[in-house]
Amino acid sequence: MATIELKNVHAEVAEGDEQILHGVDLEVESGEIHALMGPNGSGKSTTSKVIAGHPAYQVTEGEILLHLEADDFDGIEEIPEDARTWDLLDLEPNERAALGVFLAFQYPAEIEGVTMTNFLRTALNAKIEERDELLFGEDEEDEAGEDEAGYDTSPMEGNVDDGEVGVAEFQQLLKEKMELLDMDEKFAQRYLNAGFSGGEKKQNEVLQAAILEPTIAVLDEIDSGLDIDRLQDVADGINALRDEQGTGVLQITHYQRILDYVEPDTVHIMLDGEIVKEGGPELAAELEDKGYDWVREQVYNAA
Ligand code: ADP
Ligand code: MG
Ligand code: MG
């Protein structure tokens, strides 16, 4: 069971010194769903970006820690003790992702001739390789050398059988994940970005998370611009991530609507770069009723 823990996080824009986050405290465990809500401009996206390590923002104070348990990754028997707590601020974005912290990446502009399938398989293999390097140090099999019988064990250029998920194995994995998410198989054969609708892009985001099996997934406004049917599909997918893979979800949203379908364990409300109020799912409903001004009044009248 993994936990991500933000402690007193202050952040500013890297170019310049405008402070955006003023001491954010937040903890998400795998298997839990947390909603991060707040009005436009309150700092929700900035929070997601500092978790992922976006270079446009600089953390000036506080910590972001990731705690792993020994058996947090399928296929890894035991994570070494000294590789179970990570200060994410010391890691590059791809290293954070390799340890299971997921923020959907925007696909690079349409790439001629690359299918979703190929793209996702490449992403998965890159993640596994990076992860194993972080947890266990350099992969010895990648070092040039000879085995006991004197055979050359140097890796061959382009050799796909190097602990990677091969084409056939990946097809099977993809099939299972698409069934889990109730997605049309044809989807995977399409070219990256080629004519995906807004809703299909959001479903892609959930598919990425299903393939990469993150410990913690940050989903920023995945509900924006979805019609009700597509919202339901995306919500079912998020529930499946939690129920079937034990993923922890930080669901960032302005509106309460998606929370009717993805019930959060905890709701955090952000205002002006701080989390000012927390509660259970009923807090989201109350917010829907009374609006963010109600929170603002409560907070500033109490101060
Ligand atoms: P939210 O996602 O809650 O709408 P954001 O985190 O996107 O809020 O933005 C919080 C505040 O920080 C806003 O006032 C926004 O204008 C400002 N901000 C965010 N990113 C930048 C940036 N790269 N440069 C300047 N200001 C920024
Ligand atoms: Mg700065
Ligand atoms: Mg935002």
CATH of the domain at 126: 3.40.50.300
Ligand nearest to C-alpha 222? 3
Residue among 15, 20, 223 to mutate when testing ligand 1 (max atoms within 8 A of CB): 20
In percent, the amount of the chain with pLDDT more than 90 equals 71
Name the residue among 80, 73, 84, 92 with its Cα closest to residue 213: 73
Given this model, what pLDDT does residue 221 score?
A: 92
Question: Is 27 contained in some domain?
Answer: yes
Ligand with an atom nearest the CA of residue 275: 1
Place of tokens 């006991």: 148
Using the atom order of ligand 1, give the atom closest to the CA of residue 20. Answer: 12
- Asked whether residue 151 is domain-assigned, the answer is no
* Better-predicted residue by pLDDT, 78 or 143: 78
pLDDT over 60 (residue 301): yes
> How far apart, in Å, are the Cα atoms of 72 and each of 3, 124, 155?
11, 17, 29
Tens of pLDDT, residues 213-226: 999 999 999 998 89
Give domain status of residue 48, yes or no: yes
pLDDT-derived band at 158 (thresholds 50, 70, 90) equals very low
Q: What is the pLDDT of residues 22-56, one digit of tens each?
A: 999 999 999 999 999 999 999 999 999 999 999 99
Q: Looking at the CA of residue 273, tell me the nearest atom of ligand 1.
A: 10
Over residues 83-101, mean pLDDT = 96
Residue 219 lies in a domain: yes
Give the pLDDT score at 160.
44
Q: Is residue 63 pLDDT above 80, yes or no?
A: yes
Residue 206 lies in a domain: yes
Q: Whose CA is nearest to atom 16 of ligand 1?
A: 41
**Residue 77 falls within a domain, yes or no?**
yes
Q: CB within 6 Å of ligand 1 — which residues?
A: 13, 18, 20, 38, 40-46, 56
Nearest bound ligand to the CA of residue 12: 2
Q: Predicted confidence band at 147 (pLDDT cuts at 50, 70, 90)?
A: low
Average pLDDT, whole number, for the chain? Answer: 89
For residue 79, report the distance from its CA to the centre of ligand 3, in Å. Answer: 35
How far does the centroid of ligand 1 lie from the alpha carbon of residue 221, in Å? 14
- Domain count for the chain: 1
Q: Is residue 149 part of a domain?
A: no
**pLDDT at residue 110 in the model:** 62
List residues bridging with 24 in a β-sheet.
Answer: 9
**Pick from 239, 257, 260, 236: nearest CA to 249:** 239
Nearest atom (ligand 1) to Cα of 56:
23
User: Which of 18, 46, 269 has most ligand 1 atoms within 8 Å of CB, for mutation?
Assistant: 46
Question: What pLDDT does 76 receive?
Answer: 92
Alpha-carbon span 262 to 139, nearest angstrom? 40
pLDDT at 88: 97
For residue 283, being part of any structural domain is answered with: yes
For the CA of 43, the closest atom of ligand 1 is 6
CA of 59 to the centre of ligand 2 (A): 9
pLDDT above 70 for 112: no
- Expressed as residue numbers, the domain containing 255 is 3-139+161-302
Q: How confident is the model at residue 157 (pLDDT cuts 50, 70, 90)?
A: very low
Give the contacts of 287 (CB within 8 A, at least 6 positions apart). 37, 256, 267, 269, 294, 295
